[in-house]
Amino acid sequence: MSGSLVTASPAPRAGETAVAAQSGDYLVFYAQGRQREALRAVEAGGGSARGADARLGYVIARGAGPAFAERVGADPSVVGVTANRRVGSAAALTSAQWATAPEALPILPVAAGTSGDTAASAQVSSKAFTGTAAGEPLAGRQWDMRMIGADARGSYAKARGTKKVLVGIIDTGVDGSHPDIAANFDRARSRNFVVDRPRDPNGKTLDGPCEYKNCKDPADVDDDGHGTHVAGTIGAPINGIGMAGVAPGVGLVNIRAGMDSGFFFLKPVLDALTYAGDAGVDVVNMSFFVDPWTFNCAANPADSRAEQLQQAGIVTGVQRALDYARAHGVTLISALGNESTDLGHPLVDDTSPGYPEGTERKRTIDNSCINVPAESRGVISVSAIGPSKRKAWYSDYGNEQTDLAAPGGDSTDTGTSLKGVAREILGPAPKRALRAQKLIDAAGRPSTSSVVRECHHGSCAYWQYLSGTSMASPHAAGVAAILVARFGKPGKGGLTLAPAKVEKLLYATARHTACPATGSTRYPATEETHLCVGSAAKNGFYGHGIVDAYRAATAKG
């Protein structure tokens, strides 16, 4: 979610230390085939190896702060050293022991369970309503689906997807009990790769109280709401409740890598991506950037050597995980970002590092600094547009970086008859997240127009308007799922389609959209002007075009 959800006034955040100030765990990334040298470098630097993953080429090491990172990073076998929060404990091994020990740590399953608000008034049985393609109760609020032809008159009549196609939501979690999620939620394959932290090392509230044993939420919980909204846009079922997603027949897999506080740190992201590849997931949606750096610069002179090594580790580690997932059949979709920045010509990053709170500083940057994963190789990155198809004011852009555009909402878009929050994107919301955010009162009544309540037979559920490139990319993920369902071949227990083929089809079925006639867009609300460069076939605002579910549902392969 970091950097991908637009709010009126972002709250200060706290999370992992940008570079640990004391002893802690580090991910030491080594050059191909040089694990043993990296292990020796860890020992020589005064640290100890505690785990490893040969798939992505890193060692988990315990060492004493930035000085340790700099010593290890000086070894030619090492390409990055990134601080990592310690999640468990493991015995230290010498390099000689690690030479014969298993290198890949197992991916441990999360115990199955139910979650969410268990009060009868908060539950709606998805089996109680059959629904039809004639339109869901909240379909009238879904300008975004009508724009891309995902509705009763469009793609729903042609192709809705199938549960043989799995879409992974790498996010803050998914409320698997929500009635507009439950029918398509794959609980057995869902995983949670983070542990809640009630407070940060400075004693400030981070994730809030622990609700479950060992502070690890079950794999069907979303205390933030962001991931549930994303999941609904992708695949909310047609069931007579609420709304429907782009691909209302697909399987939804929660692959949680984000904390309740909205932070996405490196190790959980690596675990989520490798799991997606191993579990047979077809498409993943990534509406986040990897914390704590908005832009990762390998050699920015404003950064310390330890900070440079940390950013190099993030770039290297995530790229390796993306490559692994893609090689295992996963199509990678990412939100482009909400910094209102031309990513081809970035000038300033004043939001990094995002942790600890108050450590942000202004850095002069250039195009060698990248947002991860949006600017990583093999990723399809999506910009956001409003209801008039104008590029959203907050959306990042860039001729090299923008691959596709999709509805993300824009409350400042006056080129439409819609008013206020109706210009944003509606999606499912967990009741207890809304309660925690004080968006509903004690009786369950919405306290803001951004929340919609729908009740059936005395049971109520909730949907919420949000905007951001986080809301745009799941539209593309849903269209990708339709393409896999139509053209995929049997494999891994379901259907599979090479990511390169999915990408080609996505671009071919998108609707080319030219830059504004003036070549730029002026945003009176922010007093900014964004320049669009490129042709109708490929430009910095819309990439290859606006995704189109109907064209994907009817195209010939």
> Hey, what are 189's tokens?
């394959």
> Hey, what are 388's tokens?
């008039």
Split at pLDDT 50, 70, 90, the class of 519 is very high
Per this entry, what is the length of the chain? 557
Would strands 283-286 and 166-170 be described as parallel, antiparallel, or unpaired? parallel
**pLDDT digit string, tens, across residues 224-266:** 999 999 999 999 999 999 999 999 999 999 999 999 999 999 9
Burial class (CB in 10 A: 0-12, 13-18, 19+), 546: buried
In Å, what is the CA distance from 370 to each residue of 92, 360, 376, 469?
34, 17, 8, 17
- b/e string for 150-168 if b means 16 or more Cβ within 10 A? bbbebbbeebbbbbbbbbb
Question: Could you give the maximum distance between any two Cα atoms of the chain, in Å?
Answer: 69
Q: What is the mean pLDDT of the chain?
A: 88
**pLDDT digit string, tens, across residues 151-161:** 999 999 999 99
- The model carries a pTM of 0.89
* Residue 329 lies inside a defined structural domain of this protein: yes
Across 79-88, 350-359, 465-474, the highest mean pLDDT is recorded for 465-474
Cβ 21 vs Cβ 235: under 8 Å: no
Helix (H) or strand (E) holding 68: helix 65-73
pLDDT at 22 over 60: no
**pLDDT digit string, tens, across residues 290-317:** 999 999 999 999 999 999 999 999 999 9
* Residue 132 lies inside a defined structural domain of this protein: yes
- The residue with tokens 């409003």 is 386
* Residue 1 lies inside a defined structural domain of this protein: no
CA distance linking residue 348 with residue 400, whole number of Å: 19
Split at pLDDT 50, 70, 90, the class of 208 is confident
Mean pLDDT (whole number) for 140-150: 98
Q: Which residues contact 493 (CB under 8 A, 6 or more apart)?
A: 280
* Residue 98 lies inside a defined structural domain of this protein: no
The pLDDT value recorded for residue 303 is 96
Q: Could you say which of 2, 287, 467, 470 is catalytic?
A: 470
Q: Higher model confidence: residue 56 or residue 23?
A: 56
CA distance linking residue 93 with residue 100, whole number of Å: 11
* Residue 48 lies inside a defined structural domain of this protein: no
Indicate the SS3 state at residue 249. Answer: coil
CATH number at residue 527: 3.40.50.200
Active site residue 180: no
Cβ 422 vs Cβ 447: under 8 Å: no
Helix (H) or strand (E) holding 227: helix 226-235
pLDDT at 461 over 80: yes
Split at pLDDT 50, 70, 90, the class of 2 is low
Q: What percent of the chain has pLDDT over 90?
A: 80
* Residue type present at position 449: S
The pLDDT value recorded for residue 458 is 83
Indicate the SS3 state at residue 506. Answer: helix
Would strands 520-523 and 528-531 be described as parallel, antiparallel, or unpaired? antiparallel
Q: Which residues contact 140 (CB under 8 A, 6 or more apart)?
A: none
The pLDDT value recorded for residue 81 is 97
The pLDDT value recorded for residue 413 is 96
Q: Could you say which of 178, 226, 328, 530 is catalytic?
A: 226
In Å, what is the CA distance from 251 to each residue of 144, 179, 191, 284, 322?
21, 14, 14, 12, 21
* Nearest CA among 483, 500, 491, 503 for reference residue 557: 483
The pLDDT value recorded for residue 93 is 38
Cβ 424 vs Cβ 403: under 8 Å: no
CA distance linking residue 129 with residue 146, whole number of Å: 23
Mean pLDDT (whole number) for 492-520: 96
Q: Could you say which of 25, 53, 171, 271 is catalytic?
A: 171
Split at pLDDT 50, 70, 90, the class of 103 is very low
> Hey, what are 223's tokens?
């205390």
CA distance linking residue 342 with residue 296, whole number of Å: 16
CA distance linking residue 279 with residue 120, whole number of Å: 34
Query: How far apart are the two ends of the chain, measured CA to CA in Å?
Result: 34
The pLDDT value recorded for residue 5 is 53
pLDDT at 203 over 60: yes
pLDDT at 105 over 90: no
* Residue 458 lies inside a defined structural domain of this protein: yes
CA distance linking residue 220 with residue 55, whole number of Å: 27
**pLDDT digit string, tens, across residues 473-501:** 999 999 999 999 999 999 878 999 999 99
The pLDDT value recorded for residue 508 is 98
* Residue 110 lies inside a defined structural domain of this protein: no
Q: Which residues contact 242 (CB under 8 A, 6 or more apart)?
A: 136, 137, 138, 179, 180, 232, 236, 428, 454, 461, 463
Strands (E), 22-114: 23-30, 48-53, 58-64, 78-84
* Residue 384 lies inside a defined structural domain of this protein: yes
* Nearest CA among 165, 145, 107, 401 for reference residue 283: 165
In Å, what is the CA distance from 281 to each residue of 235, 254, 274, 284, 344?
14, 11, 10, 7, 31
> Hey, what are 256's tokens?
């949680």
For the chain, the domain total comes to 1
Burial class (CB in 10 A: 0-12, 13-18, 19+), 555: middle
Rounded to 5 degrees, what are φ and ψ at 98? -70, -25
Burial class (CB in 10 A: 0-12, 13-18, 19+), 22: exposed
Mean pLDDT (whole number) for 542-546: 98
Active site residue 470: yes
Domain membership of residue 429 as a residue range: 120-554
CA distance linking residue 234 with residue 95, whole number of Å: 46
Give the residues across from 251 on adjacent strands.
166
In Å, what is the CA distance from 350 to each residue of 45, 314, 526?
32, 19, 18
CA distance linking residue 55 with residue 174, whole number of Å: 27
Q: How many CB atoms lie within 10 A of CB 416?
A: 15
In Å, what is the CA distance from 227 to each residue of 1, 117, 194, 215, 283?
8, 17, 14, 19, 15
Split at pLDDT 50, 70, 90, the class of 200 is confident
